[in-house]
């Protein structure tokens, strides 16, 4: 097969994509969501904002709160259907100042998940930011329910989160077309 320059995550060949999934996160049978945006801000600034996980809810719509418990450990509260929430601890598994941050939920998480964000210089266009988020729901009925909850539109969610990050970094705010505060709250719920 002729090799091209496109990232393996975009391959039409399933085996190529799956292989990439494993190299990214050592995850098996999980759903990989990778997205890339270019943000018109310096790399160091973007890295610094993301590295403070407590600020993730400012642009991740489904994340209600992240408490940073230690330099490596954080506690996540994530919105679930029916006004409920799901919580887990996550640990930073790899970080390279200004370049990448990788994290993964700890062993006892109901929905094992991991993420990786990479920052690359893009010259006068700013910084190329690539996010990879992997959910690995457990088997069984409960697992299916959780899978549905997290997998239904995780690609869309990740893509939108990344866009919101871009908006926040470039403009200082997250764009909304709501007219009133009540509408805004309703849209976020």
Partner 1 sequence: MRALTWHGKHDVRVDTVDDPEILNPRDAIIKITSTAICGSDLHLYDGYIPTMKAGDILGHEFMGEVVETGPGSTLVKGQRVVVPFTIACGSCYHCGKHQYSACDNGNPADNQDIGMELYGQPMSGLFGYSHLTGGYAGGQAEYVRVPFSDVGPIVVPDGLSDDEVLFLSDILPTGWQAAENADIEPGDTVAVWGCGPVGLFAVQSAFLMGAARVIAIDHFPRRLELARKFGAETINFEESKTYEALMEMTGGIGPDAVIDAVGLEAHGFFVDNVVDQIKASLMLGTDRIHSIRQAIVACRKGGRVSMPAVYGGIVDKFPLGAFMEKGLTLKTGQTSVQHYMPGLLNAIVEGKIDTTFLISHRMSLEDAPKGYKMFHDNQNEVTKVVLKPGFDAGTAIAAE
Q: How far is the CB of 92 from partner 1 (least distance, A)?
A: 26
Q: Is 71 helix (H, G, I), strand (E, B) or coil?
A: coil
Q: Which of 18, 61 has the CB closer to partner 1?
A: 61
Q: How far is the CB of 178 from partner 1 (least distance, A)?
A: 6
What are the residues binding partner 1 (CB under 8 A)?
Answer: 38, 40, 125-126, 156, 159-161, 163-164, 166-167, 170-182, 184, 187
29: CB partners within 8 A, 6+ apart: 136
**Nearest C-alpha neighbor of 110 from the set 139, 71, 134, 132:** 139
Q: How far is the CB of 62 from partner 1 (least distance, A)?
A: 12
Q: Which of 93, 157 has the CB closer to partner 1?
A: 157
Q: Which of 175, 189 has the CB closer to partner 1?
A: 175
Beta bridge partners of 66: 76
Give me the residue label for tokens 């060949």: 13
Distance, in Å, from the CA atom of 3 to the CA atom of 95, rounded to the nearest integer, reads 30
Other Cβ atoms less than 10 A from the Cβ of 64: the count is 15
Q: Which of 26, 185 has the CB closer to partner 1?
A: 185
Q: Which of 28, 177 has the CB closer to partner 1?
A: 177
* Residues listed for the chain: 189
Q: How far is the CB of 181 from partner 1 (least distance, A)?
A: 5
Burial class of residue 41, CB neighbours in 10 A (0-12, 13-18, 19+):
middle
Q: How far is the CB of 112 from partner 1 (least distance, A)?
A: 26
């Amino acid at each position: 097969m002729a090799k091209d320059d496109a990232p393996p995550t975009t391959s039409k060949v399933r085996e190529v994509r799956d292989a990439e999934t494993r190299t990214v996160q050592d995850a098996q049978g999980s759903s990989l969501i990778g997205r890339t945006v270019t943000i018109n801000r310096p790399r160091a600034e973007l890295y610094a904002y993301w590295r403070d996980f407590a600020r993730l809810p400012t642009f991740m719509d489904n994340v209600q709160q992240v408490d940073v418990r230690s330099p490596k450990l954080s506690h996540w509260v994530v919105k679930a259907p029916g006004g409920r929430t799901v919580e887990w601890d996550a640990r930073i598994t790899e970080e390279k100042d200004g370049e990448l941050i990788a994290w993964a939920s700890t062993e006892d998480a109901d929905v094992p998940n991991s993420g990786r964000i990479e920052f690359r210089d893009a010259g006068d266009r700013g910084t190329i930011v690539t996010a990879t988020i992997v959910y690995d729901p457990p088997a069984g009925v409960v697992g299916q329910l959780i899978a549905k909850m997290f997998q239904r539109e995780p690609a869309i969610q990740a893509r939108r989160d990344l866009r919101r990050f871009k908006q926040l970094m470039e403009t200082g705010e997250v764009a909304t077309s709501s007219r009133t505060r009540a509408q805004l709250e309703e849209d976020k719920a």
